[in-house]
Each structure stands twice: as structure tokens, then as C-alpha cells.
Structure 1
Amino acid sequence: MNTEAVRAFVSVVEEGGFQDAALTLGVSQQAVSKRIASLEKSLDVVLFHRGPRRAELTVDGRVLLPHAKTLLAAADRAVQSVRPGFRPLRVDVRGRRLAAAHLLYDFHESHPDVQLDVVTLSDGGAAVSALENGSIDAALTYLHQPEALPPGIRHVHVYDEPLEILVGPRHPLAHAKSTRIADLATHRLWVPGIVPGTEWAAYYASLATAFDIEIDSTGPDFGVEHLLDVIADSRTVVTFLGARTRIVWPARHELRRLRLAEPTPVYPWSFLWHDKADGPALSRVRDHLTRMAHPPLSSVWSPVRRDGVA
């Protein structure tokens, strides 16, 4: 249906007549009459009983009215969704349990007036492609090859997330507060489901090389719940997770999160955006993220320098 004809129909109902509807819509009374006539013709029904002073709805008109209002509301939302200053800022956070989502939530708590549309793409490469085609406005990811970014894609380092390990209650380290990553060489460091070619696969490859450790990525990968079950029952299996990764497990698992120290490996999160999409809302997110406090760590390992170069 023609939305302008539907808008004229609803306006006539709300204003009580064709003349008042014309004033509200800023068109002539004749234009309103033509739009209503066109709508009636397309639906093959009569919507109004025309009187000398007031137009009254027919039975078909009363049936159509709530649907017409719903249609107009949807049309208005569609228009606003793409208007500068009205459309929510679309940001990829890689995973809703990961630190990226937590960082963006911190921004939302401080700036509830900025509308956000949070998405989770498959990897950093997909995020860069989405930035290029304009389907997202920004992304939080580990940028391991900044020199390979397409023209127009900008980035800034925003946060170093400390890496931790997760062990079960029967593991020898279960009652420790921290451990060195070099001391984990005798344990099975299991991170199932690492996808080759992703930015986090590149991170774990750098980590393994830097500390001369072997990270087991073999499956089967039955998801986080299965991984937690295995960790809870094992004396030897260890897995990695970020300090701000949010995972809930059954109380019976009695899992422990341990800090890694001397040095502490960190996962370097970067904020990416396309310079064509830069605007007030995006700038506010970027400024907030770059001002975030980093964990007070005495010794840190990162696969990238602070200038973002690998």
C-alpha cells in the first residue's frame, strides 16, 4: 500500500475530517481526497461515510485502522533507522561473553542516550569486510595485521585484557593464586575449536611460540559447557580465558580462575571503524574506550607493540 495514502487515512480519522487532515499534512483537501480514493480503490472497499461536516468510518475502515497505524509506525521506524543521528550505532563485539561486549556495556552504562545495535560476527576478517560494505559502523577485535587493513579502515588500541587459566578442583594448581605460563608446560593446554585464519588463532600461535608451549586445539568441540565439564573432572587439563570473559558454571564444578604472571600475557583489543562512518556517536564510543584504565600489571607480554604493529 502507498504509505502516504495510509497516512492520509489515519489523519482523517484522527482529525475528524478531510479539511483538518489536509492542514495537518500540509497538503490540499483535494490531495487528501485523492489519496483516500486511491487507497479505497486498491483495497476495493469504502473506508468513510462522507458527511457535510464529518467523515465517519465504515466497518471496513474500522477494521483497517489499527493495521494502518501499525504500518505507519513501522515505516517511520524504517526511515529513522537510516537517518544520521537517529540510527543505532552498529558495533561488532565478536562474542557476547567476551571482553569486547563487556567494554561496550561499560560505555552503555555511562552513555545510555547513545543507541547501540550489538552484533557478533564470525571473526575479525568478517568485521573488516562489514566495515568496508557499511553493514557495521565499528568493531572490537584483536588486530594482528594492521598493515593489511583496506584503505579507509582506522584503528586504535583500547585495552589489554590479562589472560587467565581455568582449572578444576583436583588440579595441582587449584589452590594457587597465580602461576607462570612457563610452568604449565607439563599440563594439557586445551583450547578446542581454534579456527585457522582467525585473529584469535593468530594470537594463540604467537603465545605458543613466545613461551615455547603447545596448545592443543583438537576436538571434538562440543561447546563451552562440555569444556567446563572436562576441566572440572581433570587433574591435568587447563584452558585459557580472558580476565573479563564472563562464564557461569554449575557450583558443583568448583572451577578456579588463576592469574598468569611473570609476565602476564594480555589480549590486545583494538577499536576499528571506517572513516566514512565517523560521527558524534562513534566518536563518543571511541573516546570512552581509549580512556579506559588498564589493569596495573608489572610485567606484560603482548603479540603487538603499543603502536599496534605486530
Structure 2
Amino acid sequence: MDLEAVRTFVAAADAGRFQEAAAELAVTQQAVSKRIAALERSLGVRLFTRTARGSELTIDGQAFLPHARELLRVAERAAASVRSGRRPLRVDVIASRGAAAGLMRGFHRAHPEIELDVVMLLDIETAVSAIRSGTIDASFRAVAAPGRPLPEDIESVRVLDEPLQLLTGPAHALANARSVTVAQLVGHRIWMPGIVPGTEWAAYYDDLVAEFGLTIEATGPNFGSDALLDTVADTPALATFMGEHTRLVWPAGHGLRRIPVTDPTPVYPHSLLWHRHNPHPALTTLRTHLTTTTPVPGTAGTWTPPWATPWRSLPA
């Protein structure tokens, strides 16, 4: 059913004259007559009768009027549900305990009036496809790994450099160090069963190993962070890497240590990705928030892989 014809019918019913309905709709009286005639043909009934005072609803027109009004209300609600700024901003943070989730918590505290849907997608291909289809509005990722350029319609900007820390149990050889250099980690087993081949973080750690000769083991099933913490706490020969902004809690008896890594400090480069034609106004607000809360850091004494997106100003 033609909604413009339905809207014209309601306007004519309220005005009582086709001429006044035409003026309200900013169309010609002829256009009003044609729309209503088409609607009558579609329904197979007459909706109006002409009188000396204008037009009056027939019995069928009176029966149809409340349903016509409801059709227009439903159409408006449907349009409003997807209208820019009327739906929640949907952002992928990869994992609930990582740095990206922390950035979004900070954004929510600063802008509680903006509705959010936070999702967690594993790999960058899924995230990019979701951005391009409009399923999500933005994603936090490390870009751009060698041989995996972003599509031309996807924008990205680096928003946070997260230092890596060494996590050890109380009996590890480095457990009592205030900090450790990358060179001191050579020969130590760093266990990271959460590394998934083909992901951007797998590319990051591959380059870290190649650059400094470290030993990173991704063997065994990934039973999650609790199992990882239990194993590291109980195994003196194992340690793991953890982002400085990763929020994990473990039993006091574990005695785990988070130790800064220096000379240089490996930092993980988080970037925000979005579609360049996404009109959601809250997306601009998010980028502005990240500009003011995550200033460009100094690069002296840090390491990132050569493919990491360089720092630049966030677009308005």
C-alpha cells in the first residue's frame, strides 16, 4: 500500500477539502485527487463523496480512517528506529576485560546520555564486514598487518598505545624484579594460549618474537583467563604477557606479579575503525572523546611493529 496515498487520504479527511489537503502537503489539488483515486482502486471502495461543502468520508472511508492513522504511526516508528542518532551506537571491543572495553566504559561515564550496544567479535575480517554492512558502527583493532589492507571505505585512527607487562607467579625467576628489559626475557617461556592464528594480535606477537628472539608458546587449549592465571601462578617456568590496561582479578593466594617491560617497552597499538559514510552522530562524539582522553604518546623507548598505523589527529 502506498504510504503517500494513505497520508494524503488522512490529510483530506482531516481538512474536509482536497484543496486544503493539497496546501498542507505542498502538492497540487490534482495530485491529491490522483493519489486518493489510486488508493480507492487499490482498496476496491470509494473513500469520499463530493458535497457542496467539499468532501465527506463514505462509510468505508470512516472505517478505513483509524487504520490509516495507525499505518502512518507504525511507519514513523519504523523510520525512527533506524534514523541517525535514534538507535544505540554499536561498538566492538573484542573482549570484555581488555583496553578497548575500558575505553568504552570511560566514554559511557563521560556521555551517559548516549545509548550503547557493546559487542565482542573475534577476528578483524568479521569486524570489518560488520562495519561495512552496518551491523556495528565501530571496532577497536590493531591495523594494518602486512598483506591485509583495510577496504577503502573503512577509516581507522590509532587511539591508544598499551604497554605490555610480564605476568609471573611468585616462584618465577623474575618475580621480584621491579622491571625487566626485553633482553632479560630471552630464554624464558612466555605462555599465551589465547593467540589465534591469522588475527592481528598473532601478527603482533610474531613480529615481537622475530625482533627480539623471545619464546612465546601458544600450545594447549585456551580455557580462558582463569585457567591461564592458575597455571602461571603454579608453574615457576612460565610467564605470560598482559596489557597494562587489562583488568583481571585473581585469588590473593596466587601471588601473581605484574612487571613492567622496558628497553624498549613493547606497546600494543589500538586503533578505532569505522565506515567513512556512517552518519551516526554519536560516532563523532566517540572520536572526540578519544581525542581528549588518549593523547598522542611519546614513542621514545617503545616498540611497535612497523606495520602499525601511525599516529595522526582524529578527524572531526
- TM-score tier (shorter): 0.7 to 0.9
TM-score by length of 1: 0.72
Instruction: Structure 1: state its 5+ residue gaps.
Output: 1-27, 39-73
**Aligned-partner Cα distance in 2 for 1:201–1:29:** 71
Q: Which residue of 2 aligns with 1:131?
A: 131
Partner of 1:153: 154
Q: Distance in 1 between matches of 2:80 and 2:88?
A: 9
Hey, what does 1:302 align to over in structure 2?
304
- Structure 1 residues 116, 145: CA separation in 2 closer, same or farther (over 3 Å shift)? same
Over the aligned positions, Cα root-mean-square deviation in angstroms equals 2.9
Q: 1:85 to 1:221 in 2, by over 3 A?
A: closer
- Contact residue 264 and residue 297 of structure 1 kept, 8 A: no
Q: Give deviations 1:52-72, integer Å, cap 9, x for gaps.
A: xxxxxxxxxxxxxxxxxxxxx
Aligned letter for 1:293? Answer: P
1:260 maps to 2:268: no
Match of 1:148, SS state, is: coil
AA matched with 1:241: M
Partner of 2:239: 238
Q: TM-score, normalised by structure 2?
A: 0.71
- Deviations 1:46-99 (Å, cap 9, x if unpaired)? xxxxxxxxxxxxxxxxxxxxxxxxxxxx99876543121111111111111110
Change (3 A) 1:237 1:77: farther
Structure 1 runs (4+) deviating above 2 angstroms are 28-38, 74-81, 144-147, 293-298, 304-309
Larger Rg: 2
User: Given that residues 124 and 198 in structure 1 are in contact (C-alpha distance below 8 angstroms), is that contact kept between their aligned partners in structure 2?
Assistant: yes
Q: Which amino acid aligns with 1:217?
A: A
1:97 aligned residue: 97
- Contact 1:81-1:88 within 8 A present in 2 as well: no
Q: Deviations over 1:109-156 (max 9, x none)?
A: 111122211110111221111111111111111113387111210111
2:85 aligned residue: 85
Point out where structure 2 has 5 or more consecutive residues left out of the alignment.
1-56, 69-73
Q: Aligned residue for 2:204?
A: 203
The residue aligned with 2:182 is 181
Summarize the Cα distance change of 1:75–1:172 in structure 2 as closer, same or farther, 3 Å threshold. farther
**Structure 2 contact 187–214 (Cα < 8 Å) conserved:** no
Which residue of 1 is the match for residue 271 of structure 2? 270
Paired-residue identity, %: 48
- 1:299–1:86 distance in 2 versus 1, CA, 3 Å: same
Distance 2:161 2:108 in 1: 20
Taking the aligned partners of 2:298 and 2:174, their CA distance within structure 1 comes to 23
